[in-house]
Every structure is written in structure tokens, then in C-alpha cells.
Amino acid sequence: MVKKLSLLALLLVFIGAIGSAMTYGSMNKEVSINNKKQIENENITSIQVNVDSTDVEFIPVPSMDEARVELVGKGVEDTIKDFSVKEEAQTLSVSLQRKNTKWFSFNFYTPTLKLKIFAPEKMYSGVKIKGFSSDILVKNLQTETLDLGTDSGDVKVMNITSEKMNVKTFSGDVHLERVQGEIKTVTDSGDLNVHDAPATSFDAITFSGDIQLKKITGTLTTKTDSGDVFISTSEISNPIYGKTFSGDIKIHSEKEPTDITFDVSTFSGDVNLFDKYKNNAEIGKGTILIQLETDSGDITVKTR
């Protein structure tokens, strides 16, 4: 009897879900969104963006005639609570808020929106983009500071020159390519992939995810609780600190170093340094410190 009542209750919930979905679909029609706002202030040197559940793409353009902000995609009627583009002094501020969604609903339709910022090509003093649930793409940019963050979404950065760059995501992957400057990346759950980064310093932190750094220079710091660390460089000429709780650490160098001190430790794993050393080692004067730690994993340093 109890089993029959449970099945009946489940059936009623299912019927209610279908009815709610049909009602929602009849009351909320999908619409195309194409909202453009021109950028008119030639003296803008700072850009700040704050969006909710919308992907962001930063696109440099050669002239002010093409400078604009576009909100494009598909949504439902009245899905946007607030969309504003303000030019105040030397700062362009863009904000977008979506209407609140309930924690539980029978809405099976997810609107897809993208915010495109067509900004004039120039040196900026600062660019800051914050998304709640958003993918972020920034490319071909020169700025003194670049600050990117999203709670849930991927971040992709290409061809960037900056003095300081901060990238943070709670859940999502980070991909950097042809970037330089003082760089710090943090992700709680996601992989970090970097290719071609002549950085002055690079800090990479992830709670759960792999860290892969290819063609990278500068002082390196990598930390991950659960994930592998891979570093590829033409020559080990700057200090490296790598730590992982559970994962392997691998470093590939095109040249074997001549002035290195290796300080390595692993609780459960093997150590192999250039197929010559199985523990701490000093090469030459030992000026450059390479400190590598893992509780559970192998440590390998070799030439390609």
C-alpha cells in the first residue's frame, strides 16, 4: 500500500512538472535580443564590467566609429532586469543583471546571452570583468592591470600585454596564450593551461585541477591539492616552487641547468632529476632554488 502511494505521488509530481513546463512555455516566448549602445568618449582608459549569467567577449577595434557594446542572443520576454552602459570621466562601466530565478522551478529553457565589448585599440590603465555565471574571452589587449573573475565559467585570454594580471574562477577552466607580465591565477575546480608566457612572475593555484605551463619563463609558483603539475621551458633560469597534495610534478627543460639547487620531497612517490639524482641535488653554485613537494606523486625533471 505504501509503495502504491509513493508511485502515485511520483506520478502526480511528474504530471505537475509537465503542466508547469507547458504553462511556462505559453507565457514566456523565446525572443531574439540585439541591443547596441555606442561608445562615444575617446578619453576612456578604464573599463569595468559586471554581468550575471551572460558570457563576455572583449574585442579591440581600430577606431571610435566601431566602438560599441552589444548584448546579443536569445532569451525570454523581460529576462533582463537592468542593462546599463555608462561613460563617466575616463571610465566605461557596463552592468547587466538578469531577473532572479527561483531555486526550484520547472523551467527547462536556459536563455543564452553574450555581451560583446568593441573597445578602441589603445593602452588601458585597467580592465576589470566580473561574471556570476559567465564565460570570459579577452584577446589582443594592452593594459596596465587586467582583473578577470567568474564564479562558474571558463576564462580564455589571448595575446595580452599587462603589468599585472589576475584571473580567478570558482568552477571553470583557465586558458592563457601569449600573455606577459606579473600573472596570478586561482581556480577552485578547473584546469589551468598556459602556452607562451614570458612572464616576470607566475602564480598558479588550483584546489582541484591540473596545471600545465608550456613555454613559460619567470619566477614560478604552482599549488594544487589534487592535480598534476607540468612545466615546460627552454631553460630553468628562475626559481620554481611547486607543490601538490595528490599529483605528479613534471618539468621539461630544453637545456640541462648549470646553476641549480633542487630541494625535493615526496611522501609517496619517486624522484628523478635528469636521470642522475634521486633526491636533493646541487648543480654548479646552486644559485637558483627549485623547490618541489608532493605528498602522493612522482617528481620528474628532465630534458626533452
Comparing 14-23, 199-208, 260-269, which segment has the lowest mean pLDDT?
14-23
Task: Measure the CA–CA gap between 285 and 112, rounded to whole angstroms.
Answer: 58
pLDDT at 34 over 70: yes
pLDDT at 111 over 60: no
Task: Measure the CA–CA gap between 158 and 176, rounded to whole angstroms.
Answer: 6
Task: Measure the CA–CA gap between 99 and 250, rounded to whole angstroms.
Answer: 46
Contact 290, 238 (CB under 8 A): no
Model pTM score: 0.84
| Banded pLDDT at 157 (limits 50, 70, 90) | very high
Q: What pLDDT, on the 0 to 100 scale, is given for residue 74?
A: 78
- Pairing, β 136-152 against β 126-131: parallel
| Structure-block grid coordinates of residue 147 | 582583473
Contact 137, 80 (CB under 8 A): no
